[in-house]
Structure formats: structure tokens, C-alpha cells
Amino acid sequence: MNPRLPLHALADELRDEQIRLDALDAGVPATSVRAVFSCSCQHLDGPAARMFRLLGVHPGPDISLPAEPSLSGIPLRQAREILTELTRTHLLAQPAPQRFIFHDLLRA
């Protein structure tokens, strides 16, 4: 992040999904957005980490609770527990009942 950039230039960079994470990088490796997300992912247990990776290939903007077991091949009850864990760790959001989305930065 360059503090000398005009705000409209920063806004343009933030709109571009290809460079969005770079635009937010302040040059401190420990606090970069990528490092923070990586740390969050490293603390997931095996099933949650697997589901998180699988959700990354889902083409839609969100996924429903009933659809997730088709993606991961696990029972609905287990899928619900893992989606709750991913939501609790702020890797997913739940904008409506039984619907889950990635934060836009995670999608990038």
C-alpha cells in the first residue's frame, strides 16, 4: 500500500481481484492479508481444512447447507458442524439461514 497514491487509484486497485491482496500489503510480512489468512487456515483441523479447500473451487458466490455435502461427500450433520467452525473462525460468513459465503478477500 502506497500512502502517496490518490484514493481513486487505491480504489481501482481494490476493485481488481488480481491485485487486491497486493494493494492491501503494507510491507510487513507478519501482518499481510495473505499471512493472516494462511495462519487462520493452518489452525483448522483436517476436515475443516479439506472443506475450506473444496469450497474454493465452488463456482458460485455462496453455497447452501444442503448443497455442501454434495461438494465434500460428507454427511449433512458433519457439514453443518464444519461450516459453523469456518464461520466461527471468520473464514466464512453466513448472510442468511443455511447460506455461506467467503469474505471477498478470501475469494480473491
Distances (CA, A) of 92 to 4, 29, 36, 37: 33, 23, 14, 12
Residues 13, 50, single domain; the answer is no
Give the DSSP letter of residue 27.
S
Q: List pLDDT tens digits, range 64-97.
A: 999 999 989 999 999 999 999 999 888 899 999 9
Number of structural domains the chain divides into: 2
Judge if 97 and 60 occupy the same domain: yes
pLDDT at residue number 106:
66
Average pLDDT, the chain: 82
Please give the distance of CA 23 from its chain centroid, rounded to a whole number: 17
Residues 56 and 14 grouped into a single domain: no
CATH number at 60 reads: 1.10.10.10
Helix, strand, coil in percent for the chain, rounding step 5: 55, 10, 35
pTM over 0.75, yes/no: no
- Give the domain range for residue 74: 45-108
Q: Supply the DSSP string of 45-78, one letter for each residue.
A: -HHHHHHHHHHTT--SS-EETTTHHHHH-S-HHH
27 and 62 both lie in a single domain: no
